[in-house]
Amino acid sequence: MGINEMKLFYHCYGGAHTSVTCASIHLNYLPNDRIPKTCEFKAIPFYDKMENKELGKPVYMGRDDMGWDIYVVGMKDGKNVVIPAIISYLNANNVSRREVLFVSALVQLHPITAIGGIVSRRLGLAFIGRPMTIWGIRRSYPHLVELVNKVKQNIAAKHDSY
């Protein structure tokens, strides 16, 4: 397999907030040198938009500058089932395990983000919950940038080994 077939999955609980934010930082949809404004979060694809029926289904966010396909996936508490299922599917399609990377985006999650996610996604009150998630993500943003930078360094090292 060539470098164009590398797959990176940022995952979190619902696939709507931290994983989408990390993928957006990774793909330069969001900045890595400052905390974005509220309107910038509202403009990124899929932010606070994943439905429960989409849990466990990878959503393609884009291709990075090293040729990695970047996905987000919500797993709730099913990480031990979802990751092997995705790997099995990819293996059946001739993508080997060493060409796939899973990264948990649940680093230093601010509690307000989780509460906002419940209000927005579970209760269907996005007009209340979405601003809460953004408020919490903005407080955790430097940690998310640090995570993405480490991931990019890791995949750059993998890229150099091909």
How do the domains of the chain map onto residue ranges?
3-107+143-160
In this prediction, residue 1 carries a pLDDT of 43
Asked whether the predicted pLDDT for residue 106 surpasses 60, the reply is yes
Span 4-33, pLDDT tens digits = 579 999 999 888 899 999 999 999 999 999
First CA to last CA distance, the chain? 10
Indicate the pLDDT class of residue 2, thresholds 50, 70 and 90. Answer: very low
Axis crossing angle, helix 126-160 with helix 18-26, rounded to the nearest 10 = 40
CB 120 within 8 A of CB 114: no
Span 25-66, pLDDT tens digits = 999 999 999 999 999 998 998 988 888 888 889 999 999 999
Indicate the pLDDT class of residue 136, thresholds 50, 70 and 90. Answer: very high
Q: Take residue 94 and report the two structure tokens written for it.
A: 């001739």
In this prediction, residue 129 carries a pLDDT of 93
DSSP the chain: --GGG-EEEEEESSSSSHHHHHHHHHTTSS-SSSPPPHHHHHHSTTTTT--GGGTT--EEEEE-TTS-EEEEEE-TT-HHHHHHHHHHHHHHTT--GGGEEEEE--SS--HHHHHHHIIIIIS--HHHHHHHHHHHHHHHHHHHHHHHHHHHHHHHHHHHT-
In this prediction, residue 160 carries a pLDDT of 65
Write down the mean pLDDT value for the chain.
90
Q: Take residue 53 and report the two structure tokens written for it.
A: 């029926």
In this prediction, residue 142 carries a pLDDT of 96
